[in-house]
Amino acid sequence: MSESRLVVALDLTDKDRALEIARSIGRQVFAIKINWPLVLAGSGSIIGEIARVSRVVCDFKIADIPNTNSIIAKFARDQGAWGIISHSFTGLESLRSVVEASGDTKVFSVVAMSHPGSDLINDNYRKLMDISERAGVYGYIAPGNKLSDLSEIRKRTKKTIMSPGIGSQGGRASDAIKAGADLVIVGRSIYESADPVTAAEAINEEIAKAVEQ
Ligand code: U5P
């Protein structure tokens, strides 16, 4: 079977449960994404702990001045993060500081979001992609539940697109893949499930079928 395209978001504040899920699904997913809830519940060392069982994407949506951005990005890199998510609306200097401090850790910039009310960002994806290209990002975050935005962004880049908005936010993994996502992010539909391993497997199968079509 080809490699999974599933990135599981573990937005839990129960560190033990998060580690339990990470250890059980680590080998069947592309990566595990961690966000502020899990880091604030424990410490940044959770990045390294999860990195032992899976690639880790740090979804810190970095959005500050260049110096602060560099400190955050370097921390994630030093803990062993495979990827890091940054905002781009703060401008070229801020995003470039993330790219420079990340070293081999891959930087994904947010150019459109999945939630209601994200129009301010989504209406500006062209400008945000321009900033991101100049900063040298590795890939993009674009919504898997807003397929017209996702496919417009796909048309403008060959870079890796990672898409949230699947399951609890109404999107379908297969639709997001067909609209141009390379990787799909799924959180609650997996970590709130009674059986996260089976839930992740079902999404892997749905994606594999969509890729074959
Ligand atoms: N996320 C979004 N939408 C975005 C950018 C990031 O949902 O536009 C993140 C959320 O912060 C969460 C995950 O960590 O992706 C989606 O979780 P869920 O809705 O699948 O539970």
DSSP string, 48-64: HHHHTTS-EEEEEEE-S
- 5 Cβ contact list (under 8 Å, min separation 6): 30, 177, 181, 182, 183, 184, 204, 207, 211
pTM for the whole structure: 0.98
**Distance from C-alpha of 50 to C-alpha of 46, rounded to nearest angstrom:** 6
Mutate to test the pocket of ligand 1, among 56, 185, 186 (most ligand atoms within 8 A of CB): 185
Please tell me which residue in 61, 74, 159, 178 is annotated as part of the active site.
61
Q: Tell me the CA end-to-end span of the chain in Å, nearest whole number.
A: 15
How many A from CA of 165 to the centre of ligand 1? Answer: 6
pLDDT digits (tens, 9 = 90+) for 40-81: 998 999 999 999 999 999 999 999 999 999 999 999 999 999
Instruction: Say yes or no: ipTM exceeds 0.90.
Output: yes
**144 CB under 6 A from ligand 1?**
no
Residue 94: its pLDDT value, please? Answer: 98
Per-residue pLDDT for 1 more than 60?
no
